[in-house]
């Protein structure tokens, strides 16, 4: 019973989705609420502040757990590694307020749609419904399923039949009213955040609360100037942040404002642009839309109606991955509508408001996924350590002041002051400056960023995936020629370079009609590849007119006619009647067309040759098809196949009811279209630069595998002399288990004068001397899928040397990047933003090559359409990461230096003076922190990455050694000054000091005017100790700033950062000037006592010695990479990265890589596989058996 209660108390929201959440039910207890309110009053609101930071504590304090069905408060927790909490109130809707009567009979459904969740959510006879609103989405309590479910969308369980017959004629007015009340309005509203609300959010940040506490202490102690300076800086920082957030809020509001102004009207016109106000599934007619807002590619996309089928399967399942071809997405622009018959184009609303594609996009901006980068978690641990040091100082100060019998009030105040010294107030501003500078530098290079926190992450990238077409190669393709097929044989090649028009044939008809081009305001628009193919036929496009519109064909259909330059044709015109659009997952498209003068229809199809051959009658496919295809693909050509068949039907209505499966079958193979896909001139040098920097490059493309291998060889992604192993996997069949075949691809250079590379699959094997990183695996998306499902333990072994992944669908691209991340690679992805959206979002750093300033598809967008942006981004990422580390180390040391100096003075109940602190904090630390990160990135990529962890041995040792050095220098100076013959405890013996001040003054006027105002008040400033320690601590701070600003290999030398260098030199000059000056105004203002010149020289020598030792330790030891590599080797410390471990294991495995053999899956458990052809069960090495059962280690920070 207790277990059932616990189960009812907890459930999952959006299970399996990216925004999955755990929900817990709670019931509010009034007694607990009153008690919490009382404590809040007694603590002056501190408890309310804690509840604001920790909403789960508020729920646990005021509520008791209960089943979700009875809950009035819901606690939500993210299921990612961050485990963030949210608190939501359950809202109750009363449907009895509607103007029309509703049946209270539980047996009668409320809505006509039997699949609707609303029917299950409404309690009868009460007519009430419970819901919560989470991140703009409404979830209602489902009384049948006993969980919260989304509303505002058409249920996926509806079949094509349901959509056509239940919703085809629209909803009744009653249904509309119920849905409007339950689902809310179809609005994507982003309220402009009020300034006061943004201000409160910033001020209540834990760091600013701590800062307010610190400033209150300083002001109470009379540190007015310093406290005022920090207050001014904090106010500027808060105002700038609030202004930035307000601007973002206004921009986003304007972006979505137009959505809420769209008036929905029925339009029968074929022209005119309009924006879609919701997601809808097309049920009648077709549309041409521009989805540039979603994909970043402004290419017209044709949408076709949902087929009329009688089956009961879900409409999405019916269309498999390709359901998007029927969906009109919210925010996209309808360019053209094509009605069928006399009725208008009709669509059924799928999703409204924030449930739509545009709403989802806006939500991803409003609620971005937090980044779990090691730097940020380490930074938090570091701050905790500094705070702990402050707590130790607090108790030390308490002990000292209590021992001297100082009043309790003064004791607590001074102890709290020491507590605040260790955590520098400029920490947040300083850590973000590096990213801000990097972002500005990237903007100058036309690289725009919508997620600045990812810039630091770019510094850790060690693997970059590239799309091929439009990324590595030119976007536009040049037509090379056609290879017609007839009588199961390939005919003579027709070359386009000859200038002759393509002769009339079914192949010419296919090229003229099988495309998704549209005529808009007299201009042909569409996919560049389709456009190139169509233009090569010299045919022209027109809108349908009365002469050609027969058999009930709509006037919106497109007519293709021979142009003046086209070859003579017996056909006057071709009318495109119906389209089955191209999709990446299907790798094909087809059209139904009618030739003028004929009473029947024709099917034309184009697509990937391997895919298209499956749909053709085998007797029409030439026997040497595979060989001919390979001859062109190995030369780097892009190859498309075309096919045709005549339909034995004369009625247009029959064509309308045809399914894609029926159309795309038993076709006649027509031939191949050969296109040149040239490498961009920037591709080779960039890939070479990345290779020299030891950054892995991988190609993920939707193109042919052989073409991809050739492009990889020509671009030197696969270096000369390296072996390529083709991995081909097959699904299990009746009696044969799933298999993987490994074939070695031989690279044979042709005649010396030519650059082409021919690939021959032979029987050779990888020479023993060339095992290691000299081999590269290449596979298709189909093989990847089989290996992923049936040989999972084999996948990491392939990925550590996998370089080419061809014929990959968008889903497979995302999956592959996720698998690379599981191996602890930091993955960058560069693509053109069209079918790479998922992969660009999945990668640690996705770079979209788009003309738009900020493509929503990826964190980074380059307006320069080549891959030069990749090394630029990595360089800036490395510079920003190193800068963040340097600033953090500096601020840590600055806190420790001040802490040690202040602690020493506390020993005799003293402090540094107000202006002494001001000089260190404002003139040095603040200025240094704001300019230290502005050093530019080093122009050449180093062959290794900067450290990715703050808690690494070199960094911790750096802080520890520098702490020791400064501690030794300060303690020695503190003790040694007391041994001087002229020393006097000023605050104890003020008379002695006044009598003897002539001994250490070198200036007579200063001697005459010195007042000697020191008293016995605790916390007094004037002393020889503070006069000695201040220049030492100040120069220590300058030393730390200098040695932590290392230039090469990730940043330019320090002297190239002119402002920073000038500030350091100025700070040092000012400190030396104050140390050696004998001006009364300077000394009285800084609260110093003049000392002998010899002592001042000694202080300077001590500070200089400290600089030399610290610089040598940092540069020669801690930053000595060779030394650390040797230490690691001697101690047997190796990288914990999963991919490194696999590389090490595979390098020691004599059976790897496999060549020219076939492996079969075993019993399917643990992804274990055996090589039946070559090994008996007894011969399988023990290590292989152990490896077979291993799962890939996955660090929590690799999943973003």
In terms of Cβ atoms closer than 10 Å to its own Cβ (0-12, 13-18, 19+), residue 733 is exposed
Rounded to the nearest angstrom, the gap between the alpha carbon of residue 456 and the centroid of all alpha carbons in its chain is: 12
Q: Which residue, 891, 1053, 874, 893, is CA-closest to 965?
A: 893
C-alpha dist (Å) from residue 710 to 469, 685, 769: 13, 17, 25
Q: What is the CA radius of gyration of the chain?
A: 37
According to DSSP H, which parts of 425-582 are helical? 427-444, 454-458, 506-513, 528-535
Assigned token pair, 280: 């809808």
Other CB atoms within 10 Å distance of the CB of residue 1130: 8
Spatial distance between the Cα atoms of 601 and 553, rounded to a whole number of angstroms: 12
Spatial distance between the Cα atoms of 452 and 708, rounded to a whole number of angstroms: 33
Q: Collapsing DSSP states into helix, strand and coil, what is residue 953?
A: helix
According to DSSP H, which parts of 693-809 are helical? 705-714, 781-790, 795-799
Can you say whether residue 782 is alpha, beta or left, with left for phi > 0 and alpha for psi between -120 and 50 degrees?
Answer: alpha
Examine the residue annotation and report whether 410 is marked as an active-site residue of this protein: no
Is residue 479 a contact partner of residue 531, using CB atoms and an 8 Å limit? no
C-alpha dist (Å) from residue 108 to 115, 153, 352, 877: 14, 22, 26, 62
φ, ψ for residue 989 (rounded to 5)?
-120, 70
H or E element that contains 1004: helix 1004-1009
According to DSSP H, which parts of 1132-1189 are helical? 1138-1147, 1182-1188
Residues in the chain: 1200
Q: Which of 284, 360, 467, 836 is catalytic?
A: 467
Encode burial over 578-588: b for 16+ CB neighbours within 10 A, e otherwise.
bbbbbbbebbb
CA atoms within 13 A on the CB side of 791: 29
Number of H helices, E strands in the chain: 42, 41
Assigned token pair, 410: 């003064």
Rounded to the nearest angstrom, the gap between the alpha carbon of residue 36 and the centroid of all alpha carbons in its chain is: 41
Cα angle for residues 165, 169, 175 (degrees, 5° grid): 95
Spatial distance between the Cα atoms of 655 and 660, rounded to a whole number of angstroms: 11
Contacts of 1187 (CB under 8 A, 6+ apart): 793, 1145
Residue whose structure tokens are 């990183």: 773
Contacts of 374 (CB under 8 A, 6+ apart): 948, 949, 950, 1197
Spatial distance between the Cα atoms of 150 and 142, rounded to a whole number of angstroms: 10
φ, ψ for residue 209 (rounded to 5)?
-65, -45
H or E element that contains 1158: strand 1157-1161
CA atoms within 13 A on the CB side of 1044: 30
Assigned token pair, 622: 């030439």
Encode burial over 622-647: b for 16+ CB neighbours within 10 A, e otherwise.
beebeebbbbbbbbbbbbbbbbbbeb
Question: Annotated active-site positions, please?
Answer: 467
């Amino acid at each position: 019973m207790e277990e059932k209660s616990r189960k009812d108390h907890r459930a999952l929201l959006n299970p399996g989705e990216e925004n999955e959440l755990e929900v817990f039910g709670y019931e509010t207890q009034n007694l607990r609420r009153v008690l919490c309110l009382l404590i809040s009053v007694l603590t002056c609101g501190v408890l309310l502040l804690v509840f604001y930071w920790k909403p789960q504590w508020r729920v646990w304090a005021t509520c008791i757990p209960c089943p979700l069905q009875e809950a009035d408060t819901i606690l939500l927790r993210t299921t990612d590694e961050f485990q963030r909490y949210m608190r939501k109130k359950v809202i109750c809707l009363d449907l009895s307020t509607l103007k029309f009567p509703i049946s209270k009979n539980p047996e009668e459904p409320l809505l006509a749609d039997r699949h609707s969740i609303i029917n299950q959510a409404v309690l009868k006879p009460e007519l009430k419904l419970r819901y919560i609103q989470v991140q703009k989405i409404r979830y209602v309590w489902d009384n049948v399923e006993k969980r919260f479910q989304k509303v505002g969308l058409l249920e996926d369980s509806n079949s094509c039949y349901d959509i056509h017959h239940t919703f085809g004629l629209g909803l009744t007015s009653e249904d509309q009213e119920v849905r409007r009340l339950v689902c809310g309005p179809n609005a994507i509203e982003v309220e402009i955040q009020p300034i006061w609300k943004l201000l409160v959010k910033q001020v209540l940040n834990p760091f600013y609360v701590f800062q307010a506490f610190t400033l209150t202490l300083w002001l109470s102690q009379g540190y007015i100037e310093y406290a005022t300076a920090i207050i001014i800086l904090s106010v500027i920082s808060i105002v700038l942040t609030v202004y930035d957030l307000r601007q973002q809020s206004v921009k986003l509001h304007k972006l979505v404002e137009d959505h809420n102004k769209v008036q929905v009207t029925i339009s029968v016109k074929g022209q005119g642009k309009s924006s879609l106000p919701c997601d809808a599934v097309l049920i009648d007619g077709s549309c041409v839309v521009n989805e540039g807002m979603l994909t970043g590619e402004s290419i017209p996309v044709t949408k076709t109606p949902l087929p009329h089928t009688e089956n009961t399967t879900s409409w999405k399942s019916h269309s498999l991955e390709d359901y998007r071809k029927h969906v009109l997405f919210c925010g996209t622009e309808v360019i053209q509508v094509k009605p069928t018959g006399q009725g208008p184009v009709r669509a059924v609303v799928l999703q409204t408001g924030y449930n739509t594609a545009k709403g989802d996009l806006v939500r991803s901006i409003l609620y971005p996924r937090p980044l779990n980068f090691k730097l940020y978690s380490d930074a938090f641990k570091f701050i905790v350590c500094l705070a702990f040091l402050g707590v130790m100082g607090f108790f030390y100060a308490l002990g000292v002041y209590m021992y001297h019998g100082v009043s309790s009030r003064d004791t607590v105040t001074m102890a709290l002051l020491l507590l605040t010294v260790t955590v520098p107030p400029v920490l947040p501003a300083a850590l973000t400056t590096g990213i801000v500078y990097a972002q500005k530098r990237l903007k100058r290079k036309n690289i725009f960023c919508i997620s600045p926190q990812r810039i630091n992450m770019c510094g850790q990238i060690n693997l970059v995936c590239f799309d091929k077409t439009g990324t590595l190669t030119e976007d536009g393709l040049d037509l090379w020629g056609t290879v017609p097929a007839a009588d199961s044989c390939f005919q003579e090649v027709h070359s386009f370079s000859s200038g002759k028009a393509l002769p009339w044939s079914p192949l010419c008809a296919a090229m003229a009609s099988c495309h998704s081009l549209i005529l808009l305001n007299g201009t042909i628009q569409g996919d560049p590849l389709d456009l190139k193919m169509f233009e090569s036929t010299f045919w022209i496009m027109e809108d349908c007119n009365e002469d050609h519109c027969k058999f009930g064909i709509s006037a919106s259909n497109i007519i293709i006619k021979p142009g003046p330059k086209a070859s003579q044709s017996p056909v006057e015109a071709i009318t495109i009647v119906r389209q089955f659009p191209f999709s990446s997952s299907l790798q094909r498209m087809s059209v139904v067309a009618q030739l003028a003068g004929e009473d029947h229809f024709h099917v034309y199809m184009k697509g990937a040759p391997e895919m298209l051959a499956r749909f053709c009658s085998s007797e029409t496919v030439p026997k040497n098809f595979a060989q001919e295809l390979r001859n062109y693909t190995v030369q780097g050509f892009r190859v498309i196949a075309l096919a045709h068949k005549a339909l034995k039907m004369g009625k247009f209505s029959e064509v309308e009811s045809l399914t894609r499966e029926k159309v795309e079958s038993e076709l006649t193979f027509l031939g191949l279209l050969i296109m040149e896909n040239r490498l961009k001139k920037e591709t080779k040098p960039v890939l070479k630069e990345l290779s020299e920097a030891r950054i892995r490059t991988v190609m993920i493309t939707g193109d042919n595998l052989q073409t991809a291998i050739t492009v990889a060889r020509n671009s030197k992604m696969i270096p000369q002399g390296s072996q390529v192993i083709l991995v081909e996997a097959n699904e299990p069949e009746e009696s044969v288990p799933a298999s993987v075949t490994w074939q070695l691809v031989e690279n044979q250079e042709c005649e010396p004068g030519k650059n082409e590379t021919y690939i021959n699959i032979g029987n050779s094997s990888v020479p023993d001397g060339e095992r290691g990183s000299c081999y590269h695996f290449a596979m298709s998306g189909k093989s990847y899928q089989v290996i992923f499902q049936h040989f999972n333990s084999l996948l990491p072994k392939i990925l550590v040397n996998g370089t080419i992944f061809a014929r990959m669908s968008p889903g497979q691209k995302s999956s592959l990047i996720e698998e690379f991340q599981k191996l602890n690679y930091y993955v960058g992805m560069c693509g053109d933003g069209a079918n790479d959206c998922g992969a660009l979002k999945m990668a640690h750093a996705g770079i979209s090559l788009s003309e738009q300033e900020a493509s929503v598809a990826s964190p980074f967008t380059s307006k320069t359409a080549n891959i030069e942006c990749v090394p630029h981004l990595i360089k800036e990422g490395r510079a920003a990461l190193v800068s963040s580390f340097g600033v953090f180390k500096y601020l840590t040391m600055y806190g420790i230096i001040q802490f040690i100096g202040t602690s020493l003075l506390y020993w005799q109940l003293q402090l540094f003076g107000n202006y002494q602190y001001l000089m260190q904090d404002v003139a040095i630390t603040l200025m240094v922190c704001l300019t230290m990160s502005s050093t530019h990135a080093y122009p050449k990529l180093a062959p290794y990455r900067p450290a990715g962890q703050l808690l690494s041995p070199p960094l911790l040792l750096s802080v520890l050694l520098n702490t020791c050095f400064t501690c030794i220098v300060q303690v020695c100076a503190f003790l040694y000054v007391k041994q001087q013959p002229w020393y006097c405890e000023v605050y104890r013996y003020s008379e002695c000091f006044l009598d003897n001040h002539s001994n250490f003054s070198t200036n007579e006027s200063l001697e005459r005017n010195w007042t000697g105002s020191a008293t016995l008040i605790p916390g007094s400033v004037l002393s020889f100790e503070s006069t000695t320690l201040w220049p030492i601590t100040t120069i220590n701070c300058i030393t730390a700033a200098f040695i932590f600003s290392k230039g090469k290999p990730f940043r330019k030398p320090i002297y190239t950062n002119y402002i920073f260098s000038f500030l350091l030199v100025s700070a040092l000059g000012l400190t030396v000037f104050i140390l050696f000056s004998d001006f009364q105004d300077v000394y009285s203002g800084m609260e110093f006592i003049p000392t002998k010149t010899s002592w001042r020289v000694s202080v300077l020598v001590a500070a200089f010695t400290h600089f030399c030792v610290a610089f040598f330790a940092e540069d020669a030891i801690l930053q000595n990479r060779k030394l650390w590599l040797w230490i690691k080797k001697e101690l047997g410390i190796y990288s914990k990265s999963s991919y490194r471990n696999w590389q090490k294991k595979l390098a020691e495995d004599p059976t790897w890589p496999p060549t020219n053999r076939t492996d079969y899956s075993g019993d399917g458990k643990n992804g274990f596989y055996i090589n039946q052809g070559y090994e008996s069960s007894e011969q399988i090495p023990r290590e292989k058996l152990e490896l077979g059962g291993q799962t890939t280690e996955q660090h929590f920070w690799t999943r973003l």
